[in-house]
């Protein structure tokens, strides 16, 4: 897939997140591994619902800016994305959103691990809320190879590595 297509897909994912109320205002961010040590990511300070491919930034594995159009820079949260990629080299994308219902559970410290609604169990599986506070829990008790979604108590969730078109 060429780079313009990847950028367009990132923008489409941002629109879907915005339309489904998974982000508000300038919340959330998306990154995609384009090759070893190189990633596309959404910029800081923009609504994910109104991005165009020229908004997308290119960063290295440390989250440092490699390329961006004037006025755009990567979110400081790319460091969190890079920690996920470092811990899970098999994944190709990270989506960080603030879905309201999941956020409510996360703020209360309540994991989504009970089979209350069968559809949630089938489509989500277990979604842990580690007790490590605001930061991405690299020392999470569950093996990282089995974690696809995680919520933190500071109100955000991360999803890896589902194909972007499934969301």
| Residues with catalytic roles | 77
Residue 75: phi and psi, rounded to 5, are -65, 150
3-state secondary structure of 30: strand
Is residue 64 within 8 A of residue 138, CB to CB? The reply is no
**Structure-block tokens of residue 19:** 């339309």
**Structure-block tokens of residue 97:** 């959103």
**Structure-block tokens of residue 146:** 């089995």
- Count of CB atoms situated within 10 Å of the CB of 41: 25
Rg of the chain (C-alpha set): 15
Give the contacts of 133 (CB within 8 A, at least 6 positions apart).
152, 153, 154
Side-chain half-sphere CA neighbours of 48 within 13 A: 29
């Amino acid at each position: 897939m060429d780079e313009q297509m990847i950028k367009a897909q990132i923008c489409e994912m941002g629109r879907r997140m915005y339309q489904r109320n998974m982000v508000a205002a300038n919340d959330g961010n998306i990154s995609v591994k384009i090759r070893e040590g190189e990633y596309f990511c959404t910029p800081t300070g923009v609504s994910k619902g109104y991005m165009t491919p020229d908004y997308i930034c290119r960063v290295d594995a440390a989250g440092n800016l490699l390329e961006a159009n004037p006025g755009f820079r990567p979110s400081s949260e790319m460091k969190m994305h890079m920690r996920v990629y470092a811990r899970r080299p098999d994944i190709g994308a990270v989506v960080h959103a603030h879905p309201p219902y999941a956020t409510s559970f996360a703020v209360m410290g309540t994991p989504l691990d009970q089979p209350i609604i069968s559809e949630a169990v089938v489509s989500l599986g277990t979604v842990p809320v580690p007790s490590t506070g605001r930061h991405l829990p690299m020392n999470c008790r569950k093996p990282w190879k089995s974690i696809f979604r995680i919520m933190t108590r500071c109100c955000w969730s991360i999803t890896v590595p589902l194909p972007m078109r499934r969301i």
